[in-house]
């Protein structure tokens, strides 16, 4: 769970940095890992991240003709499925703050024969869409990298139509202390080693491990979503709470 930080500062992993500096440092991490992002996800999660994302896709319940936004969508694996679900009468939009990640997303969508998905370089804290634009918004493994999570939640809520839903897929707090110990060992010893051997970038993967620990736990994120104006917030723990999906609705 995230701890307090000095006024004007925020967390970059375990380090406290000036608020204005975090965005550039996070951008550096994802520019560095973009080309090997999906490969590293497969290695780090033993492929389980695909099941977590499948759960989100099913829970979103996207229907033909709907308008869907995937925030911090990176390489496009969620928006790819949403584009198929909404069909030619709907709209699926991929957004990310990082140009390199968007480029990878575009390439991977085209490799799978998916065209016509708008790509928008956008900050989750200040989404450039009109009030009530979307039936469904998702953010998968992106919220923990946002500087002002409350602002991002408010921005996403504003972009939902009344009755629309927001789904947040993110690493969370394991429910079992024994699992938590094993997970810590894996995160702080194996992940940086993988980063060094596979991506030649130990520091970025150490940051990713630390950023997970600084992210709010399940109950805290649920409260944050409610304070941002979302209702009927439900929490779904996956893989013993290593990952959680939060779903909330804009009622009016």
Cβ-contact 186, 239 below 8 angstroms: no
Euclidean distance between CA atoms 65 and 58, whole angstroms: 17
Euclidean distance between CA atoms 21 and 99, whole angstroms: 18
123 is in an annotated binding site: yes
From the list 45, 152, 135, 30, the residue with the least C-alpha distance to 91 is: 135
Cβ-contact 221, 248 below 8 angstroms: no
Q: 68: burial class by Cβ within 10 Å (0-12, 13-18, 19+)?
A: buried
31 is in an annotated binding site: no
75 is in an annotated binding site: yes
E strand or H helix at 109, and its extent?
A: helix 99-111
96 is in an annotated binding site: yes
Question: Binding site: what residues are annotated?
Answer: 75, 96, 123-124
Q: Which residues contribute to the annotated binding site for S-adenosyl-L-methionine?
A: 75, 96, 123-124
């Amino acid at each position: 769970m995230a701890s307090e930080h000095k006024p004007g500062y925020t967390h970059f992993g375990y380090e406290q940095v000036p608020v204005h500096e975090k965005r550039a440092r996070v951008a550096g991490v994802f520019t560095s890992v973009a080309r090997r992002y999906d490969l590293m996800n497969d290695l780090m999660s033993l492929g389980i991240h695909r099941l977590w994302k499948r759960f989100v896709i099913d829970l979103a319940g996207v229907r033909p003709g709907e308008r869907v936004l995937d925030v911090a969508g990176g390489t496009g694996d969620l928006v790819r499925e949403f584009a198929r679900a909404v069909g030619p009468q709907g709209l699926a939009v991929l957004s990310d703050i990082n140009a390199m990640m968007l480029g990878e997303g575009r390439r991977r969508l085209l490799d799978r024969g998916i065209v016509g998905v708008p790509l928008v370089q956008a900050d989750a804290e200040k989404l450039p869409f009109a009030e009530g634009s979307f039936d469904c918004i998702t953010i998968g493994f992106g919220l923990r990298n946002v500087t002002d999570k409350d602002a991002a939640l408010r921005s996403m809520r504003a972009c939902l139509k009344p009755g629309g839903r927001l789904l947040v897929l993110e690493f969370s707090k394991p429910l079992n202390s024994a699992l938590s110990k094993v997970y810590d060992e894996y995160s702080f010893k194996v992940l940086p080693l993988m980063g060094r051997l596979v991506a030649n970038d130990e520091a970025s993967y150490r940051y990713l491990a630390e950023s997970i620990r600084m992210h709010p736990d399940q109950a805290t994120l649920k409260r944050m979503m409610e304070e941002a104006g979302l209702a009927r917030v439900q929490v779904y723990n996956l893989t013993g709470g290593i990952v959680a999906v939060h779903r909330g609705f804009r009622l009016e």
